[in-house]
Amino acid sequence: MKLFAGANTIVRSRTIELDFVRGIAIIAVMGYHFHNVDTGLWLVLALQYPFTHFGREGVNLFFTLSGFLVGGLLLREYADAGTVDARRFIVRRIFKIWPAYYALIAFHIVAGRHPADTFLVQNLTHLQNYLGTSIKQTWSLAVEEHFYLLLPALLLLFARLRLRANGILAVLGLLCVVVLVARSVTVAAGGIDAAFFQTQYRIDSLLAGVMLACVYWMKPDLYRRVASQKRWLLAIIVMLLGWLVVATRYIALDESIGYTIQAIGYVAVIVLVLEYSRAFVRHWAFRAVAWVGVYSYGIYLWHSIALAPADILIAKGEALAWPKLVIWAGALVVQTAIAITAGYVTTRVLEFPFLHIRNALFPARLSASGDTTSAPAPVVVAVTQTMPAAEVDRTPPAVSGQSL
């Protein structure tokens, strides 16, 4: 009972708006990876279109949101103390990421679903996005692991240089330009796979989220001005949707400038959801998507185990001459149920208990104002932060329509 009481405390500490964004991202990824059959029905094709054509771009949304959340944790500490405790940050990240991740690796070793030489060394060393892995969905976790090492190192360098918000934004923006140019050159040279998988070509999506966190926590007046421009935010999101519909089919174009366009669009999505979703947060659909978002990490890790049962169902249905629509619906239900159940169970049994242990052994530090600089799950919108007076005023960001 204590175990689940601690887990429930973790769930209650989260921000539903950001869990909604997580839910959108994981639903997109599942829809892209799930197996289906061709029903020949236009309505089914229309329902599948966003998932089959650009569902994989949900990973970019995860990246940008992760940059915002993790960047927020560190930048709040940086703004308050002028430096960051990199060791403590990395230890807390380990407690968050590794238990469920290594449980997945252990499962594949025991189950023997893939030859060990196709994933073991690659995944144990977190180099699967360079060396390849048969547990395909884990490539993006390597990118994030590398990011968790790079970001505190950058902030320690910024602290040594005594950079303030404008300097941090300038450096991060320059890094994003460098990544864009390097990725474009690589794509032009035919390195499509490298541009998709390798950290140095994907880190700008995370850095875009960090830049948003920097504005949010260190330049709240600027954040208010940006967040108040609802029409511009909507226009950027329309641009993003247009790009996803029209341009993602052109792989070289999408993997060069496309990831930058997506990062900008996803920043607008995060701001819009944070500031203008109050009218929707009590709707059952919003809350259902947010609930899925709570368990998104576990679902992302384990959703691939749903594919084989779906293949069996599809083969059985086709052998028995079931209607194509029935097979399609059955495969979708089976995969969704297995993926979400696996994510829910592993999150409750592994992730939340280890977060509870982490918070007991390495509790979040208190800022000078008494606010935590970390939380059981990243929550960056519900805490008042004290900033250096010379840098910003002491009022937290807020605009009309904000749901905190």
Digit-coded pLDDT (tens) for 87-99:
999 999 999 999 9
Whole-number pLDDT of residue 260: 97
CA 84 remoteness from chain centre: 22
What is the average pLDDT across 13-32? 93
Distance CA 129, CA 134 (A): 11
Whole-number pLDDT of residue 270: 97
pLDDT at residue 145 is higher than 60: yes
pLDDT at residue 327 is higher than 50: yes
Whole-number pLDDT of residue 398: 39
Using pLDDT thresholds of 50, 70 and 90, give the confidence band for residue 154.
very high
pLDDT at residue 128 is higher than 50: yes
Whole-number pLDDT of residue 310: 96
- On whether the CB atoms of residues 227 and 271 are closer than 8 A, the answer is yes
Lowest mean pLDDT among 33-42, 167-176, 292-301, 338-347: 33-42
pLDDT at residue 134 is higher than 70: yes
pLDDT at residue 5 is higher than 70: no
- On whether the CB atoms of residues 110 and 249 are closer than 8 A, the answer is no
pLDDT at residue 248 is higher than 70: yes
Using pLDDT thresholds of 50, 70 and 90, give the confidence band for residue 392.
very low
Whole-number pLDDT of residue 112: 87
Using pLDDT thresholds of 50, 70 and 90, give the confidence band for residue 363.
confident
pLDDT in tens, 370-386: 444 433 333 333 333 33
Neighbours of 80 (CB within 10 A): 21
- On whether the CB atoms of residues 394 and 387 are closer than 8 A, the answer is yes
Tell which residue, 383, 385, 393, has the closest CA to residue 369. Answer: 385
Q: Burial level of 279, CB count in 10 A (0-12/13-18/19+)?
A: exposed
Indicate the pTM of the whole model: 0.88
pLDDT at residue 13 is higher than 70: no
Using pLDDT thresholds of 50, 70 and 90, give the confidence band for residue 113.
confident
Cα dihedral 219, 224, 229, 235 sign: positive
More confident residue, 67 or 54: 67
Whole-number pLDDT of residue 375: 35
Q: In this prediction, what percent of the chain has a pLDDT beyond 70?
A: 87
What is the average pLDDT across 262-279? 96
What is the average pLDDT across 154-174? 95
Using pLDDT thresholds of 50, 70 and 90, give the confidence band for residue 200.
very high
Using pLDDT thresholds of 50, 70 and 90, give the confidence band for residue 7.
low
pLDDT at residue 201 is higher than 80: yes
pLDDT at residue 9 is higher than 60: no
Q: What is the mean pLDDT of the chain?
A: 88
Distance CA 275, CA 401 (A): 6
State the virtual CA torsion across 19, 276, 237, 260 in degrees, nearest 10: -60
Lowest mean pLDDT among 105-109, 247-251, 352-356: 247-251
Give exposure, 98-112, as e/b (b: 16+ Cβ within 10 Å): ebbbebbbeebeeee
Whole-number pLDDT of residue 223: 96
What is the average pLDDT across 203-223? 97
What is the average pLDDT across 314-337? 96
Query: Which residue type is seen at 86?
Result: A
